[in-house]
Amino acid sequence: MTRSSGRWRRTALRMLLPVGAGVLLWSRVGTGSPFDPPVRLVASLSSRTLRVIEDGDVVHTYGIAVGRPKYPTPTGSFRTGTIDWSPRWTPPPSDWARNKRPRGPGDPANPMQGVKIYFKPPYYYIHGTNDPGSIGEAASHGCIRMTAEDAIDLARRIERAGGSVPLRIQH
């Protein structure tokens, strides 16, 4: 009896050890939900801010410009996509852009400065702007504008997180 109960204890210990190690590891790195992504973005249209959340903590908050009432920024859940460094600007097929002409990278008249981060193709991005005074305003045609420096910083954060992160845009 002693011998078989010892064998049973060793077997039980071998089976429980990996489970215990997994629970310990999850409790050290978990943020409350095993389904929370390690990095995510939350944009508030009313406060005109974009927050970077890493492992459940807000690690950075950026000021943003959002869409005008006539051209609102879409709300909902998105995922960042392609990151286009030093983008050129092509006027979209919209009435407001009818008389505009394309602008190359670095052109001071290019409304997209530094970087363009897709979130709702083909016409909605997070991007740097040539009008930093618009930050904090409802001034865009639906995109999320940031200073060029902030947009570049955000793009680098997204790249470090794997190149694509969830984005929630709320009122």
- Residues 85-115 have pLDDT tens digits of 999 999 999 999 999 999 999 999 999 999 9
Catalytic residues: 127, 143
Residue spans of the domains in the chain: they are: 1-30, 39-170
Strand, helix or coil at 53? strand
CA angle at 154 for the pair 65 and 145, rounded to the nearest 5°: 15
Whole-prediction pTM: 0.79
Q: Class of 39-170 per CATH?
A: mainly beta
Tokens describing residue 95: 């009435």
- Residues 147-161 have pLDDT tens digits of 999 999 999 999 999
The amino acid present at 38, given as its one-letter code, is P
